[in-house]
Structure 1
């Protein structure tokens, strides 16, 4: 709109001034002048008409808008020429006005319509040249509206107004007005260009800066990468590249809100900036990751010490009102030139090291070691193969008995998934389940296991319980309850015989969704057990937060209870917790009589392990039940 106003201001004043100059240069038999108010009114009409015509020509939602705008433009020019001619005091115009005006109006409208019809294609040079040519011709038509002088001088001499200006004076006024319009528009264009340059510089700065922490972002890191490494190389120094990845940052957002999460990030940025030297480069690299680069270390040992300093700063608690948040961070370290010669590779390797630190528990420093890329590629390849495992019938189920601790009676089976790779053979669950969790493939695997296990269990003669594992990721999905209901209907398996074990070895991030899912499952009659108690991130908090029907103690404590007093204490505490909550406790990993005896004495109600038999294939369960029916037991 601003550019349109400037264009019309310059165009209208230039065409009007040119016409005034042309009228002033005519040789007439009388002395003439211009009525100032009428002449300026012609200028205002020209500006308004030109603005209306140009604005109309840009309307894309009106059919033939450019042509209509051109007609308005052409009529405006001819009308201005006629009005300016009429404003020339003393000019003889009587008689010739109607016929001249009609033809000039018609010609101006046609030429204007043709000129502005090229507006949609103005980016093409040919269209621009054509539009310019026809605009020029349309402008020339205004001179056709000036009638020839026909009256004698004696008739018009007395008609001059005392408010009129002479031809020379009006010519100067027109040129001054035109010059002022051009100067005003030129000044506006200059200011607009300066504003755009300033905005471009501001946007460029913002594009290299994180808007939340005001630290440089990763785009700025890439921009100065060469300079940092050249400085370290020139001085013969080691350059430490430290990647800080916050552990469980999403849980902070979910539990306390995004405002607290933003406070954590800003506090982390301020702590690092205030305590590290000016020569240290600090960046918010991505989401909950910070990158710290120190190009002025002399040895690799100093790089390790620097990483420890960064870790101590990253672990400082953050105060938020009445909360005191403890921050855990997984830190990866790569060192120039030992681990790479360009920053891209160093950052990649520091990131691999941070992922490795997080995968083994987090809250520690992991330097990059040779072979991490191969391990990462192996995991990526395994994840790719795992996606097709359910489609290519590579997954299978085995079942492990669950028994009463006092009598040994069978009460149910737990379904366990196994994967036989087409080329690599059997792959242990502890190898592919974590990969499935991290990649999200656990959703497809979990759905397959649930349906396949229910299909098998519905054929069992004994009405025992079926336990199926599910990850927090599955519980966090809004469609999980619907999936379970669909599987139960499709297979005909009774809901009161299904028990879903929520694996507590991975963090539960969406607490509200998981809580709603558990309540909905219990309304259906499905029981929900807490799996891997004692091994997870916050077992007691999890047990308190969710209405579980059973506690399942991790096998690591059962296996160690004969030699580790701490394991025995944890088992006793878990059993007492179950009694206080009024829910049974099952201990897995029972392999010896001494372990069973301890659990019986501690009051554990249910047990599971190789003491009662190894994993059974579905066909073995059917054969065993068939033999029992034949013997009548």
Structure 2
């Protein structure tokens, strides 16, 4: 160790040694940054960073070596072989490139150390190739112990440097890696020079120009600075571009692309901050949920481009009305949310008035003006809620009440009034779970011939027994299913289950199934019916679909086209609740229905009201003239049945003839038998589906 120190002190120009050290440290820091870039990338980009790192590393190592060599004072004239000098540079660059590639490959846990060891060997190869290029007038000898030690030191310190560098980042780990690589370069050079012995042999006319050598060292240092500086500039430019890209991506992630307002993610961050601030300072916060009223109408009439224009215009108007700490975001679709810190209800009212004005002001689309309007729900913190979830939920409930209110477009949360909405939403969630967990069932009400009393078929009626609330009326949960869109999977389940069960009935009675208006709008209804019939094996003639006149009235042309497709399958169509629609006679004239179902409301007064009796007679006469069978619903007394019999009604159903009951009861009564051997399982599991049979 002392020999090496003496070599530095006695045989080197300290100024050039310090210059070499500065080049070495600067280059090593740059190498660390370039390797960091390489580890963050892959493919060609990674290869490019490895190449830049190899060039910067090779150049800085070579320059460090060459400047230190120029600072060495052997006491005899010196010169350099240009070819071997250039080769030593290429050895440094190529060796570092291979070593860095191995170190960052990630193939094994030892890859960084192996790559680092290769870099150390490359440093040694570069040094001793450079020594071959070193021409000196004298007899050269080598102390092999120092020579071997220099190679070991370079290899060990380089392996340690890259091993530390590639490990998970620890405090000061990167600084330790940089120091290890500096030690690898410096220890190699000066230990190697300590192994170098020169016995001068002076020849007349031979001399070295120390000033020229120092100038050359400075020039080489300058070149090194240029090369390393260029590499460092690439790193800084890439880092700046990356930072700008990350900022742009962050802005895109937090901003709605259509309206340039903050989006749902940004809203969630902001409301957390505002609630925390309000809780700490004792302030008050208003959350305003905004849902446009006529946005769907504009979209349907004018297209999505017009809808986008409406959203952009309203977004800009609301943004222009913001002041101070006010915040507004687009949550999605035509839904917006605003946050407003308030001290008095007057200030809050002014803010709400600005929001209302922004959504009610007409928007020019082509040559037409539209006023979208909005339903606005407001919840206050801490008056209505103290948590984020409760605040959002309460504002949402108030907004839905505003949508149902024909007078007020702004509604504040009121617990007593909004609990009904909350209960409906809870029941909707329970219904979804009931569909997923198969908690629903079908009951069957018999339909009989009025003249003979014979069974003509059964109407399939959906029933739901809630695990906590017990039986829930279809009048309660069917509208919820239609509002939420659950009616589609629900209706498909009823259709498939009822057809599957009826396919095994003996005798082969007809099964009648109600079709919701929402189902009927579904364009694939004829295809779905065809698939279910083929899947279950039910004869099409045994399936009867019931739909109300209001279902058809929404779009007659499309409705009749769909009904014709269904009739082509061989399925019967019944017009349900006849007499309560808008244009019954026109509907009957336009489409050949297979059955008319007289609404139960007329039968309730048939025995006491001459007007009701007259309507019943007129409907029955109309059915006969059009040759369409008529089924009367809601028969509860013998007098009603006698009236229908006297007037020549075809079929009837009601509590007098049979209440809706599970399939198990129909089988037990002997009205229906199953053609398969699945009956024992069905009876044993009255709430399940066994052998393809779903029973009550």
TM-score, normalised on structure 2?
0.64
1:472 is aligned to 2:519:
yes
Counterparts in 2 of 1:39-188, with a 5 A limit? 39=85, 42-61=88-107, 65-90=111-136, 92=138, 108-109=154-155, 112-113=158-159, 116-118=162-164, 120-121=166-167, 123-124=169-170, 135-136=181-182, 138-139=184-185, 140-143=187-190, 148-150=196-198, 152-154=200-202, 166-188=212-234
SS in structure 2 of the partner of residue 244 of structure 1: strand
**Match of residue 631 from structure 1:** none
* Structure 1 residues 184 and 301: alpha-carbon distance in aligned structure 2, compared to 1, 3 A threshold: closer
**Match of residue 644 from structure 2:** none
Instruction: State the Cα RMSD in Å.
Output: 5.4
1:417 is aligned to 2:462:
yes
**Match of residue 555 from structure 2:** 539
SS in structure 1 of the partner of residue 591 of structure 2: helix
How far apart are 1:58 and its partner, in Å? 0.6
Q: Is the CA contact 1:209–1:217 (under 8 Å) kept in the aligned structure 2?
A: yes
How far apart are 1:49 and its partner, in Å? 2.3
Q: Is the CA contact 2:398–2:418 (under 8 Å) kept in the aligned structure 1?
A: no
1:22 is aligned to 2:32:
no
1:244 pairs with one of 288, 291, 309: 291
**Match of residue 613 from structure 1:** 653
User: 1:499, 1:600 → 2: CA distance?
Assistant: 20
Counterparts in 2 of 1:203-602, with a 5 A limit? 203-222=249-268, 241-244=288-291, 261=304, 263-273=305-315, 278-280=320-322, 283-291=329-337, 298=346, 309=357, 312=360, 331-334=375-378, 340=384, 347-355=392-400, 365=409, 367-368=411-412, 369-371=414-416, 373-383=418-428, 385-386=430-431, 387-388=433-434, 395-399=441-445, 401=447, 411-421=456-466, 423-437=468-482, 438=484, 440=486, 443=489, 446-447=492-493, 450-451=496-497, 454-455=500-501, 458-461=504-507, 463-467=509-513, 469=515, 472=519, 484-485=532-533, 488-489=536-537, 493-500=538-545, 531-535=547-551, 538-540=554-556, 542-544=558-560, 546=562, 547-549=565-567, 552-553=574-575, 555=577, 558-559=579-580, 567=581, 570-579=583-592, 583-584=593-594, 586-590=596-600, 591-592=602-603, 593-602=613-622
How far apart are 1:440 and its partner, in Å? 3.7
* Structure 1 residues 251 and 543: alpha-carbon distance in aligned structure 2, compared to 1, 3 A threshold: farther
Alpha-carbon displacement from aligned partner over 1:482-515 (angstroms, at most 9, x marks no partner): 97257624xxx434312355xxxxxxxxxxxxxx
How far apart are 1:385 and its partner, in Å? 4.8
SS in structure 1 of the partner of residue 76 of structure 2: coil
User: 2:416, 2:207 → 1: CA distance?
Assistant: 103
Alpha-carbon displacement from aligned partner over 1:342-379 (angstroms, at most 9, x marks no partner): 89566543422444566x69999473543355234423
Structure 1: unaligned runs, 5 residues or longer: 502-530, 560-566, 627-633
How far apart are 1:129 and its partner, in Å? 7.8
User: 2:354, 2:121 → 1: CA distance?
Assistant: 78
**Match of residue 510 from structure 1:** none
Alpha-carbon displacement from aligned partner over 1:534-563 (angstroms, at most 9, x marks no partner): 1579332540552343655453x624xxxx
Deviates more, 1:11-20 or 1:287-296: 287-296
Alpha-carbon displacement from aligned partner over 1:450-502 (angstroms, at most 9, x marks no partner): 4256436743536434335476399869995697257624xxx434312355x
Deviates more, 1:206-215 or 1:598-607: 598-607
Q: Is the CA contact 2:96–2:119 (under 8 Å) kept in the aligned structure 1?
A: yes
Q: Is the CA contact 1:414–1:466 (under 8 Å) kept in the aligned structure 2?
A: yes
How far apart are 1:43 and its partner, in Å? 3.5
How far apart are 1:609 and its partner, in Å? 1.6
User: 2:525, 2:50 → 1: CA distance?
Assistant: 54
Q: Is the CA contact 1:588–1:607 (under 8 Å) kept in the aligned structure 2?
A: yes
How far apart are 1:416 and its partner, in Å? 0.7
SS in structure 1 of the partner of residue 288 of structure 2: strand
TM-score, normalised on structure 1?
0.69
SS in structure 2 of the partner of residue 123 of structure 1: coil
SS in structure 2 of the partner of residue 371 of structure 1: helix
SS in structure 1 of the partner of residue 67 of structure 2: helix
User: 2:204, 2:487 → 1: CA distance?
Assistant: 98
User: 2:277, 2:188 → 1: CA distance?
Assistant: 69
* Structure 1 residues 134 and 424: alpha-carbon distance in aligned structure 2, compared to 1, 3 A threshold: closer
Q: Is the CA contact 2:124–2:154 (under 8 Å) kept in the aligned structure 1?
A: yes
Q: Is the CA contact 1:8–1:50 (under 8 Å) kept in the aligned structure 2?
A: yes
* Structure 1 residues 152 and 301: alpha-carbon distance in aligned structure 2, compared to 1, 3 A threshold: closer
SS in structure 1 of the partner of residue 336 of structure 2: strand
* Structure 1 residues 543 and 145: alpha-carbon distance in aligned structure 2, compared to 1, 3 A threshold: same
User: 2:100, 2:576 → 1: CA distance?
Assistant: 78
SS in structure 1 of the partner of residue 505 of structure 2: coil
**Match of residue 681 from structure 2:** none
How far apart are 1:159 and its partner, in Å? 10
SS in structure 2 of the partner of residue 269 of structure 1: helix
User: 2:453, 2:591 → 1: CA distance?
Assistant: 20
* Structure 1 residues 300 and 115: alpha-carbon distance in aligned structure 2, compared to 1, 3 A threshold: closer
User: 2:165, 2:106 → 1: CA distance?
Assistant: 11
Q: How many residues align?
A: 566
User: 2:356, 2:152 → 1: CA distance?
Assistant: 86
How far apart are 1:118 and its partner, in Å? 4.9
**Match of residue 244 from structure 2:** 198
Q: Is the CA contact 2:287–2:379 (under 8 Å) kept in the aligned structure 1?
A: yes
SS in structure 2 of the partner of residue 30 of structure 1: coil
SS in structure 2 of the partner of residue 290 of structure 1: strand
User: 1:63, 1:229 → 2: CA distance?
Assistant: 46
Structure 2: unaligned runs, 5 residues or longer: 1-37, 39-47, 604-612, 636-651, 673-696
